[in-house]
């Protein structure tokens, strides 16, 4: 099929078909989203999802192996482990490494998440309350930047800051946007979890990675060469034209075309 010659209507139909093809429970086992799917309580899903998304770079088998290791070290009770975390619990992460994410980074995350849960109630509350207070803008950029700033508003090693993106610095924030997709989008198809209530799917941004960006450029949905927040904004604009209510559903189509079909 010569996609470049499709009408805009047929082009949308093509991508909608790819969404239906890839957004199925079969997608889950080989994807980091399988980690929050291990849990039934919202508070565990939220934390397990955040930690899995944090280390979601590199080869997926290694991501899954190390994400399972994190859950095991937290006794498969991520919320309880974090809310009761004390200095003596740092030993649980001895020897843990995922690329540049090391034990000192995990401990930083435990302390930051405990503080956020204690002060705000949840990650959702921190992000959504800022978004609502800002007047519910079309982009979550500022709320994600605020999340970054609050997360590191404590003593920490500078090296840990790179593990939570800051769109204000130009980052595409791929892992944060993927995490938001998991938490916000409806669970109707059995893939995303839909446990957050305040932020609508219409406000989500594309998790821009090497696969979605390459496919987007080939399809003419993305012209910017750098994978940064400006590229995310450009991509979002095109995807919202096709589905204003749920633009990020196309993440399944674009990722599937690139990572699975080698488009």
| Number of alpha carbons in the 13 Å side-chain half-sphere of residue 64 | 12
Q: How confident is the model at residue 239 (pLDDT cuts 50, 70, 90)?
A: very high
- CB under 8 Å to 192, separation ≥6 — which residues? 33, 181, 182, 183, 184, 185, 186
With 70 as the cut, is the pLDDT of residue 77 above it?
A: yes
103: its two tokens: 């034990």
Instruction: Give the pLDDT confidence score for residue 127 in this predicted structure.
Output: 98
With 60 as the cut, is the pLDDT of residue 4 above it?
A: no
Distances (CA, A) of 241 to 16, 63, 170, 248: 13, 33, 24, 12
pLDDT in tens, 45-73: 999 999 999 999 999 999 999 999 999 99
Beta bridge partners of 101: 98
Distances (CA, A) of 30 to 25, 61, 101, 222: 10, 7, 21, 27
Q: How confident is the model at residue 11 (pLDDT cuts 50, 70, 90)?
A: confident
Q: State mean pLDDT over 37-43.
A: 98
How many other CB atoms are found less than 10 A from the CB of residue 2? 5
Q: Are 100 and 87 in contact (CB under 8 A)?
A: no
Q: What single-letter DSSP state applies at residue 215?
A: H
Q: How confident is the model at residue 202 (pLDDT cuts 50, 70, 90)?
A: very high
Taking phi over 0 as left and psi of -120 to 50 as alpha, with beta for the rest, 190 belongs to: left
Q: How confident is the model at residue 33 (pLDDT cuts 50, 70, 90)?
A: very high
Expressed in percent and rounded to 5, the helix, strand and coil fractions of the chain are: 65, 0, 35
Instruction: Give the pLDDT confidence score for residue 5 in this predicted structure.
Output: 62
Residue 101 dihedral angles phi and psi, to the nearest 5°: -95, 110
Q: How confident is the model at residue 85 (pLDDT cuts 50, 70, 90)?
A: very high
Question: Of 210, 79, 206, 104, nearest to 159 (Cα)?
Answer: 104
Residue positions counted in the chain = 263
- CB under 8 Å to 4, separation ≥6 — which residues? 220
Q: How confident is the model at residue 236 (pLDDT cuts 50, 70, 90)?
A: very high
Residue with tokens 């955040």: 50
Instruction: Give the pLDDT confidence score for residue 10 in this predicted structure.
Output: 85
Q: What single-letter DSSP state applies at residue 260?
A: I
How many other CB atoms are found less than 10 A from the CB of residue 178? 26
CA 6/CA 155 separation, integer angstroms: 54
pLDDT in tens, 144-181: 999 999 999 998 989 999 999 999 999 999 999 999 99
Global pTM reads 0.96
Instruction: Give the pLDDT confidence score for residue 235 in this predicted structure.
Output: 98
Distances (CA, A) of 109 to 23, 32, 142, 173, 261: 30, 18, 21, 17, 35
């Amino acid at each position: 099929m010569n996609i470049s010659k499709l009408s805009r209507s047929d082009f949308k139909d093509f991508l909608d078909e790819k969404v239906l093809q890839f957004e199925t429970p079969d997608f889950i086992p080989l994807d980091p989203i399988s980690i929050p799917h291990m849990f039934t309580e919202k508070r565990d899903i939220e934390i397990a999802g955040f930690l899995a998304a944090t280390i979601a770079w590199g080869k997926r088998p290694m991501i899954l192996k190390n994400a399972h290791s994190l859950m095991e070290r937290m006794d498969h009770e991520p919320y309880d482990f974090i809310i009761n975390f004390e200095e003596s619990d740092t030993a649980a992460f001895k020897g843990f490494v995922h690329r540049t994410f090391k034990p000192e980074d995990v401990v930083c995350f435990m302390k930051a998440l405990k503080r956020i849960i204690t002060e705000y109630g949840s990650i959702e509350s921190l992000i959504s309350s800022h978004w609502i207070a800002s007047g519910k803008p079309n982009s979550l950029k500022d709320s994600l930047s605020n999340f970054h700033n609050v997360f590191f508003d404590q003593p920490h090693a500078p090296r840990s800051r790179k593990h939570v993106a800051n769109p204000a610095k130009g980052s595409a924030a791929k892992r944060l946007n993927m995490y938001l997709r998991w938490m916000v989008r409806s669970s109707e198809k059995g893939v995303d979890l839909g446990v957050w209530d305040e932020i609508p799917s219409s406000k989500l941004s594309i998790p821009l990675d090497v696969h979605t960006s390459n496919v987007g450029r080939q399809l003419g949905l993305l012209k910017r060469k750098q994978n940064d927040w400006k590229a995310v904004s450009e991509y979002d604009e095109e995807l919202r034209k096709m589905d204003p209510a749920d633009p990020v559903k196309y993440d399944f189509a674009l990722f599937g075309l690139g990572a699975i079909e080698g488009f």
